[in-house]
Structure 1
Amino acid sequence: MAPSPAADEVTAVLQAVFDEAGVEGFVHARDIGGDRDIGGDREVAFRADAPVIVASLRKIAVAVAYARRAAAGDLDRAARHTITAANREGGGIGTDSCRHDVTMSTRDLAFFMLSMSDNAATDKLMEILGTDRVRAVATELGCPRLPVGRYRELWDPVWEELGLDPDGDIDAQLDQVGEDRIRGLAMLDPTRSAASTAREITSLLTAIWRDQAGPAEACAEVRELMSHQLSVHRLAAGFDDDVRVAAKNGSLWGVLNEAAVVEYPDGGRYAVAVFLRTPALGGRDPAADAVIGRAARIAVDQLRRTPAATTSEETT
């Protein structure tokens, strides 16, 4: 489909905001209101089919796998599980930084996973669910290359590639590793590592919001859990207070992402995903954080003011 003049305009605007922030961006937004099928023509796409590193957005698929089992009655939401040193890597968020064992319910593992991106809680939930089950869910929902697995399964190859001792002080060892070696990691190259696309991620969100990712009860639970994300300085910051945002973000070296469904008071619902590659490997990057919200708002505003199909030119 040839891009419309409106699509050309939004492409130029998105490119300009990414250039201003000094980042490389990838965007996909779709109108998920009404009864249109997933993959309908109400979209804004900017490099939406280029492979991207998803980081913690992978946890959405874990949440779907959990909620399906809970809705089926073969997993007890209230069952107690203990997060131990075997699940913790340290230096993270939530229970990942706890010094002692923490016991919580299955449901609260999922809550910590999505609300604060707790890696240790995710690791324990993956232990309960099993990698094969989560991988099958991701594949079924159109994200076959999404990274799944427990923390060590994902990170041990990185430490091996860098020549680090996984049982030693990782932070101290990383201080001795040059930026070029980190940038060259397979984990950060979507052509050599598990990855997805902005379009695949909005398809996943669309399936959840339309009760097509599993039983209605399971989809409703994932939607509710995603509504509690504590971080509001990226995508949510681009929208007014009366717009509901249910989101999941992700970060890695030189990677900042967020995907969400935004719901307007008039009933409009839009799935949107913004992925960034940044020049800085870590630390605070307010300009990059802010551009995620700006890009999401630009894409959603385009959908709200354009009744016809909107597809921007994609470059890779």
Structure 2
Amino acid sequence: MSSPPAASSPPAAALEAVFDEAGVSGFVHARDIDHGYECGVRADEPVIVASLRKIPIALAYARRAAAGQLDRSARHTITAVNREGGGIGTDSCLHDVTMSTRDLAFFMLSMSDNAATDKLMEILGVEQVRSVAAELGCPRIPVGRYRDLWDPVWEELGIDADGDIDAQLDAVGEERIRALAMLDATRSASSTPREITSLLAAIWRDEAGAAEACAEVRELMSRQLSTHRLIAGFDDEVTVAAKNGSLWGVLNEAGVVEYPDGGRYAVAVFLRTPSLSGRNPAADAAIARATRAAVDALRRARPAAPLRETTCP
């Protein structure tokens, strides 16, 4: 099989300039979903995906729901067992919260709710999600429940997971956090930018499961509340469905950009930042700028014929 065509004007230099200006290390891959044109920087290097792992979880949920094996309206209660505290959505609630299976997936993708994610993982089962991820080309992506993923981190840092984690972290040096296996893509569960855009392209082409399941994941990803990264690179007439992710010194976002003329582009941007803080406006802006540069290059490469009528290379 021949290699996918590269964009006519590879934006590698422009992408590197965006990352250098923001003071970050960047990994990016973008693909024209309907024609196969690709571009990127370090697209096949392993990266820490953080909350992008929630995309295959959502797909596993949607596939089972579409097959009639799971009731979208069934009620489930998020309890203290699912909550770690200090997070977003139900993860910070003081009391138990009951919602439907579908709404667990909605909270998971729209606001990256970790407690909702854990409850959904409890319903689906780790092996079911792992199987879906492996089937779709992301065999090493982390798919366990939140506590299963974080307990090894607390053990590595010598932190009591049942105590005040924030207070204990304050006493941990930055160098010890940077040395964590969780933050080293060669020693922990990971993926690559190219694998993530391949996953997204399969969802958008209805190849990742039944058309109903793929459509539900696309709709849920279009509800993401965050607009300060990938989506910030585009005007209102451009539709963006995405999922972001953050960890210490890690800022990511991946999604699909759709133009009114039918052009569809899957993009995944992964950044490593010099600061462990989750607040980095320059890095957030770099994700938007890198995405726009990559998509512009792919649009320059696209054929003149309508995208939906052209056979993928």
Same fold (TM over 0.5): yes
Distance 2:267 2:41 in 1: 11
Partner of 2:22: 21
Q: Select 1:111's aligned residue among 103, 106, 109.
A: 106
Amino acid in structure 1 at the alignment position of 2:81: A
Partner of 2:288: 293
Partner of 2:171: 176
Partner of 2:133: 138
Determine whether 1:6 maps to 2:12.
no
Distance 1:71 1:157 in 2: 35
Q: Equivalent residues in 2 for 1:54-133 (5 A)?
A: 54-133=49-128
Contact 2:7 2:298 in 1 (8 A): no
Distance 1:53 1:216 in 2: 29
- Specify the SS of the correspondent of 1:6: coil
Q: Equivalent residues in 2 for 1:164-243 (5 A)?
A: 164-243=159-238
- Specify the SS of the correspondent of 2:220: helix
RMSD of aligned residue pairs (Cα, Å) = 1.3
Amino acid in structure 1 at the alignment position of 2:184: D
What's the offset of the Cα at 1:283?
A: 3.7
Distance 1:4 1:243 in 2: 21
Amino acid in structure 2 at the alignment position of 1:83: I
Q: Equivalent residues in 2 for 1:301-312 (5 A)?
A: 301-307=296-302
Contact 2:248 2:278 in 1 (8 A): no
Residues 153, 120 of structure 1: CA spacing in aligned structure 2 closer, same or farther, 3 A cutoff? same
**How many residues of Structure 1 are paired with residues of Structure 2 in the alignment?**
300
Distance 2:196 2:273 in 1: 20
Partner of 1:256: 251
Contact 2:110 2:220 in 1 (8 A): yes
TM-score of the aligned structures, taking structure 1 as reference length: 0.93
Amino acid in structure 2 at the alignment position of 1:114: L
Distance 2:281 2:48 in 1: 20
Among the aligned pairs, what percent are the same residue? 80
What's the offset of the Cα at 1:223?
A: 0.3
- Specify the SS of the correspondent of 2:243: strand
TM-score of the aligned structures, taking structure 2 as reference length: 0.94
Distance 1:136 1:4 in 2: 33
Distance 1:305 1:211 in 2: 25
Q: Cα deviation per residue 1:153-193 (whole Å; 9 max; x = unaligned)?
A: 00000000000000000000000000000000000000000
What's the offset of the Cα at 1:3?
A: 7.5
Amino acid in structure 1 at the alignment position of 2:208: A
Partner of 1:270: 265
Distance 1:222 1:306 in 2: 28
What's the offset of the Cα at 1:4?
A: 8.0
Residues 78, 305 of structure 1: CA spacing in aligned structure 2 closer, same or farther, 3 A cutoff? same
Amino acid in structure 1 at the alignment position of 2:20: D
Partner of 1:148: 143
Contact 2:7 2:38 in 1 (8 A): no
Distance 2:24 2:199 in 1: 25
Residues 157, 26 of structure 1: CA spacing in aligned structure 2 closer, same or farther, 3 A cutoff? same
Q: Cα deviation per residue 1:203-239 (whole Å; 9 max; x = unaligned)?
A: 0000000000000000000000000000000000001
Where does structure 2 lack aligned partners over 5 or more consecutive residues?
A: 304-313
